[in-house]
Structure 1
Amino acid sequence: MSTGAMAATSQPMATSVALDVLRRGGNAMDAAVAASATLAVTEPQSTGIGGDCFLLYHEAKTGRLHGLNGSGRSPSGATLERYKEAGFTEVPVDGLYAATVPGALHAWQTAIERFGTRSLGELLRPAIGYARNGYAVTPVVAENWARGRDKLEKFEDSRRVYLRDGEALSAGDVHRHPELADTLELVAEQGVDVFYQGSVAERIVAFSDANGGLFTLDDFANHHTEWVEPISTDYRGYRLYELPPNGQGITPLMMLNIIENAEVSALAPFGADHVHLFAEAYKLALAERDKYCSDPDFGELPVDVLISKSFGESQWQRIDPEQALPPPVASGYRPGTDTVYLSIVDADRNMVSFINSISHGWGCGVLAGDTGVLLQNRAECFTLEEGHLNCIAPRKRSLHTIIPAMLYKDQRPVLCYGVMGGHYQPMGHAYVLSNWLDLGFDLQEAMDAPRFQPSGEKLLIERGLDASVLTELAARGHALEESASPLGGGQAIFVDWQRGSLQASSEPRKDGCALGY
């Protein structure tokens, strides 16, 4: 808790950097960019300048909420025919055919140009220091490093930089990445144009050409970030804001419009009825997401209908309290858990809900030569189904999993939060919010509660649910499977306007840290 400012991120190093920026007079946006850049170095399996960024920003002086979509587009050579000729029936998870143009750096610059008070070069300095001088690998990062070992081993430069004697780094090892430091230095000195129109872009494209990739210089030069209008729904007297497609922000809104028809507060927390309700609402919302969520530049999307109360009520009528719905038409997307989310609130009560990712753990696995840029595998979220709204096409943005959230009450922001975890994120947004509002949990309890997620034909569960609950869920037709890793990980900051204080949560599924002053 604090009264001045607060930062919550998935790494103590990043939280410390954010607080230092705030103490030196920077605002929430400055702190968020500096923290995100630090995470791009210290949590390399999750994020980086080869990935994307989305954010929601509450501007204190106007009371307005702004949304930013920093997702990159597919290469101009990414045609459906090209993938089919290469023998793919779905977009691969690894390799350059999974890569899209990185959007993060351009998004950071766009954000601070409008709302920041510091230069990008200044905000990159802590990250440059960690990349050049080294950082200690933290426990959860080490676990994910070990999981990604086989992917990294496939690619020469990734193997050279991220493995030691062929093995993943362990907790407490010090990792240095001087090539990434050099690229960040170039951006700090010359601006983001060096990444999108200058020598860094030229080196990435040359590497791509030499290794059978699809990138062109025009793909980088034509990249742009977009300010977008947030979308929202009411829930229990509050209003939750998310970002519109191509992100999946419609999904938690659809879930909440279904769930509000139930008296959640009367259910036994984490009992069979409680879990069943959320699992079924998630299935229904995800089916609509997979049908419609895509790049709005490539087709009109029925967003207003999907997030309407009437549609939510009609979906609610489809839930049988005693029998699990058979899985909807499979999306074909594979679960991913590697993203970083952070919340920042400054002394003026500017607030930013900020999320970055390279998609799956270690992205597409490809480090682009000596640039230090580990490329994301966001193209994996496209489908190769001809005629589908989310079918791959040149210079198109795929369905995107990373979503920030902001909750308002009486037209003021009260909760700045997000939950990482690929396709788990909509469940996380709805579940954490309901735990807080419906069950009366404090923020930390709401985050720490045992989780579950429908995935394909399975209901993935974390440890912590009673055996009797599992038996009852199985009797309702849920095919249970213990999740091999924690589901998601989140941060949240609550603004108590009445008492003038801030309360934060950063959960133990990550190496998270929340601090304030």
Structure 2
Amino acid sequence: MHRRSFLATLPALAASPAFALDPIRGGDRVTGAQFAGRSTVWGTQGAAATAHPMASLIGIDILRQGGSAIDAAIAINAALGFLEPISCGIGGDAYVMLWDPKVKKVIGFNGSGRSPKGMSLEHVRSKAKDGHIPSWGSVSVSVPGAVDTWGQMHAKYGKLKFAEVLAPAIALCERGVPVAQTIAYYLNASYRRFTNPASGIEEVQNFLKTYAPNGRAPREGEIFRNPDLGATYRYLAANGPRSFYEGQIADTIDTYFKRIGGHLRKSDLSAHKGEYSEPLKTTYRGVEVLGLGANTQGLSTLQMMNILENFDLKGMGFQTTASLHTQIEAKRLAFEDRAKFFGDPDFSKMPVEALLSKAYAKEQASKIRQDAILPRVVPYEAPARGDTTYFTVSDKDGMMVSWIQSNYRGMGSGLVADGLGFMFQDRGELFSLRDGSPNIYAPGKRPFHTIIPGFACKDGQPWLSFGVMGGDMQPQGQAQILVNMIDYGLGLQEAGDSPRWHHEGSSEPTGEMATGTGTLNLENGVPLETRAGLEKLGWAIKAAPGGYGGYQAIMTQNDPLGRAYAAATEMRKDGLALAY
């Protein structure tokens, strides 16, 4: 839906002559930026910002019961696996960064799974379409890492029993909830995709049984239940997270993939274990910005900030041609390195120190011209729109959790194992099939990942736990949030509601090469003068109503009377931020 436009939700009125001249815009605010959709939420004891109001409420309830921010995060993730299946679930992977107040540092965790060990490169290439791994079906499936992430995080940071943490999600699955607007839209899109005979998915009856029990996907406001997922959660609550990988669930998965001719096996599941990962760091105008390294694209955000630090963005002006042009060119420069070097570090090494250096960023910045677009961008010489959920939680002890979880494209692979109630991710689509690529497919390898949690600190203390969902939009979105807050002084909610840009057409780790200078998507709120200025520079601008990501954030503010938390959520989706 176009930004703050009611036309998409008022189809009958949209055709009326009274609505023909200009889209209806939102009302006026008495304070703050006029483009902001709501105010920032404030509290002192804890906060939660998620993509669904019920998930945010569950997070606050868990905190009030004495749970930690990690307890709340796991409860939120379990709830969103039911509430928002178009973005996440226990068939996918997860990444975490959190501020641990006991050790006073940011801790990172890589919860991504590997490709099946019994699936060869030759087999994958035999299933390729136009030289790339298919978006759906068993060849795109890798080991789901989300539940192991729950287990390891809970073992170290949990306060409540694991069964208590899963109880709210179990109740939702069994009772059912009305489907939210954006989720209903994407559920119906997935239904059309998966039931298309050309999809190549080996089996769709389980998808239909789980997500379209009445012969179609649920519509907005209709009550949806998932008793199979509730039963799976009950099994995990009784037997612990490792039972997903070693117990009856793993047996069911093994049997299912054998039946449909896939390669994921119980041995792949039992071998899985996520790992702690030291975050990469840089500084941007005195703020420490952190990101997870390979196999994610976290380094891309840091590279963009390093390049942008060489420019006076504040002096250029907010949402001006010069400011947006500079940000977009920084993205293009960083993304060529992303395409050339990013992959599983267990299989290839990348020159992280060189790519993250301020000297290299200064060299890259010197290439950007204010009067023209760089005609060709090359990587350091030494595709992708995904569906993801991001949420953040903080607690009374000062822990801040930045958590991102995804099934990747759409709802995932289209495959739902018998009676388990969740879909397997299609993250394996992001492997390359190009010889020499660090991200080329191999058995037992982790694919390049787009999902990245965000975190920033000031003066050695936690400041911002944030994320922007959406495939290759994520580094672009994170950079825009940081620029909006640090350079332009926007508040937490305003920084996310600000109009966004999204550049497509850079080279990709999957093997696609850059197509000219790419395509620039701009939200409607970008000033017309700026749009005209960018077109004059030569940017190919595309009118796109979506693809700008989904934002959640929590900010810590120190007050003489104690700590205060600010929380914000995404006006483009169904979410809600709460604090108490």
> Under a length normalisation based on structure 1, what TM-score does the superposition of the two structures give?
0.97
The residue type paired with residue 194 of structure 2 is L
* Rounded Cα–Cα distance in structure 1 between residues aligned with 2:177 and 2:566: 28
Q: Note closer, same or farther for the CA distance 1:76–1:328 as it changes in structure 2 (3 Å cut).
A: farther
Which of 419, 425, 449 aligns to 1:370? It is: 419
Q: Which residue of 1 aligns with 2:33?
A: none
Tell me whether 1:453 sits opposite 2:502 in the alignment. yes
The residue type paired with residue 7 of structure 1 is A
Tell me whether 1:424 sits opposite 2:473 in the alignment. yes
Q: Which residue of 2 aligns with 1:26?
A: 67
Tell me whether 1:501 sits opposite 2:564 in the alignment. yes
* Rounded Cα–Cα distance in structure 1 between residues aligned with 2:436 and 2:255: 32
Structure-to-structure mapping, 1:75-86, within 5 angstroms: 75-86=116-127
Instruction: Compute the displacement of 1:459 (Å).
Output: 0.8
Q: Is the 8 A contact 1:47 1:356 kept in 2?
A: yes
Instruction: Compute the displacement of 1:144 (Å).
Output: 1.6
Instruction: Compute the displacement of 1:306 (Å).
Output: 1.0
* Rounded Cα–Cα distance in structure 2 between residues aligned with 1:327 and 1:157: 47
Tell me whether 1:274 sits opposite 2:323 in the alignment. yes
* Structural RMSD (CA): 1.5
* Rounded Cα–Cα distance in structure 2 between residues aligned with 1:327 and 1:399: 24
Tell me whether 1:264 sits opposite 2:327 in the alignment. no
Q: Which residue of 1 aligns with 2:83?
A: 42
The residue type paired with residue 193 of structure 1 is R
Tell me whether 1:148 sits opposite 2:190 in the alignment. yes
State the identity %. Answer: 37
Tell me whether 1:62 sits opposite 2:125 in the alignment. no
Q: Is the 8 A contact 2:127 2:139 kept in 1?
A: no
* Rounded Cα–Cα distance in structure 2 between residues aligned with 1:192 and 1:294: 27
Q: Is the 8 A contact 2:301 2:476 kept in 1?
A: yes
Structure 1 portions without partners, runs of 5+: none
Q: Which residue of 2 aligns with 1:414?
A: 463
Instruction: Compute the displacement of 1:106 (Å).
Output: 0.4
Structure-to-structure mapping, 1:229-378, within 5 angstroms: 229-326=278-375, 333-336=383-386, 338-378=387-427
The residue type paired with residue 34 of structure 1 is A
Secondary structure at the counterpart of residue 539 of structure 2 = coil
Instruction: Compute the displacement of 1:77 (Å).
Output: 2.7
Q: Is the 8 A contact 1:406 1:417 kept in 2?
A: yes
* Rounded Cα–Cα distance in structure 1 between residues aligned with 2:218 and 2:309: 45
Which segment is superposed worse, 490-499 or 259-268? Answer: 490-499
Q: Which residue of 1 aligns with 2:433?
A: 384
* Rounded Cα–Cα distance in structure 2 between residues aligned with 1:410 and 1:105: 34
Q: Is the 8 A contact 2:66 2:160 kept in 1?
A: no
Which of 492, 502, 512 aligns to 2:575? It is: 512
* Rounded Cα–Cα distance in structure 1 between residues aligned with 2:571 and 2:210: 28
Which of 474, 481, 489 aligns to 2:535? It is: 474
The residue type paired with residue 493 of structure 1 is I
The residue type paired with residue 66 of structure 2 is G
Q: Note closer, same or farther for the CA distance 1:73–1:471 as it changes in structure 2 (3 Å cut).
A: same
Q: Which residue of 1 aligns with 2:155?
A: 113
Size of the alignment, in residue pairs? 514
Secondary structure at the counterpart of residue 154 of structure 2 = helix
Instruction: Compute the displacement of 1:334 (Å).
Output: 2.6
Q: Note closer, same or farther for the CA distance 1:279–1:87 as it changes in structure 2 (3 Å cut).
A: closer
Structure 2 portions without partners, runs of 5+: 1-41, 197-203, 506-517
* Rounded Cα–Cα distance in structure 2 between residues aligned with 1:255 and 1:395: 31
* Rounded Cα–Cα distance in structure 1 between residues aligned with 2:542 and 2:439: 29
The residue type paired with residue 65 of structure 1 is V
Instruction: Compute the displacement of 1:328 (Å).
Output: 5.0
Which of 42, 54, 62 aligns to 1:13? It is: 54
Secondary structure at the counterpart of residue 459 of structure 1 = strand
Tell me whether 1:139 sits opposite 2:202 in the alignment. no
Instruction: Compute the displacement of 1:468 (Å).
Output: 2.5
Tell me whether 1:169 sits opposite 2:218 in the alignment. yes
* Rounded Cα–Cα distance in structure 2 between residues aligned with 1:214 and 1:127: 30
* Rounded Cα–Cα distance in structure 1 between residues aligned with 2:435 and 2:123: 13
The residue type paired with residue 145 of structure 1 is L
Instruction: Compute the displacement of 1:467 (Å).
Output: 2.4
* Rounded Cα–Cα distance in structure 1 between residues aligned with 2:242 and 2:213: 34
Q: Is the 8 A contact 2:253 2:265 kept in 1?
A: no
Instruction: Compute the displacement of 1:439 (Å).
Output: 0.4
Runs of 4+ more than 6 Å apart: none
Q: Is the 8 A contact 2:390 2:467 kept in 1?
A: yes
Q: Which residue of 1 aligns with 2:43?
A: 2
Instruction: Compute the displacement of 1:486 (Å).
Output: 4.5
> Under a length normalisation based on structure 2, what TM-score does the superposition of the two structures give?
0.86
Instruction: Compute the displacement of 1:159 (Å).
Output: 1.9
* Rounded Cα–Cα distance in structure 2 between residues aligned with 1:469 and 1:76: 51
Instruction: Compute the displacement of 1:412 (Å).
Output: 0.3
Q: Note closer, same or farther for the CA distance 1:212–1:188 as it changes in structure 2 (3 Å cut).
A: same
Q: Is the 8 A contact 2:149 2:274 kept in 1?
A: yes
Secondary structure at the counterpart of residue 207 of structure 2 = helix
Q: Note closer, same or farther for the CA distance 1:443–1:87 as it changes in structure 2 (3 Å cut).
A: closer
Secondary structure at the counterpart of residue 408 of structure 2 = coil
Instruction: Compute the displacement of 1:78 (Å).
Output: 3.1
Q: Which residue of 1 aligns with 2:18?
A: none
* Rounded Cα–Cα distance in structure 2 between residues aligned with 1:113 and 1:328: 45
Secondary structure at the counterpart of residue 297 of structure 1 = coil
* Rounded Cα–Cα distance in structure 2 between residues aligned with 1:334 and 1:384: 16
* Rounded Cα–Cα distance in structure 2 between residues aligned with 1:173 and 1:299: 48
Instruction: Compute the displacement of 1:311 (Å).
Output: 1.2
Please give the per-residue CA displacement for 1:442-484, whole angstroms capped at 9, x wherever unaligned: 1111100111111112111221112222222122121111224
Structure-to-structure mapping, 1:215-226, within 5 angstroms: 215-226=264-275
Q: Which residue of 1 aligns with 2:9?
A: none
Please give the per-residue CA displacement for 1:63-108, whole angstroms capped at 9, x wherever unaligned: 1221110001111133221122335421111111111110000001
Instruction: Compute the displacement of 1:194 (Å).
Output: 2.2
Instruction: Compute the displacement of 1:165 (Å).
Output: 4.7
The residue type paired with residue 467 of structure 2 is G
Which segment is superposed worse, 147-156 or 32-41? Answer: 147-156
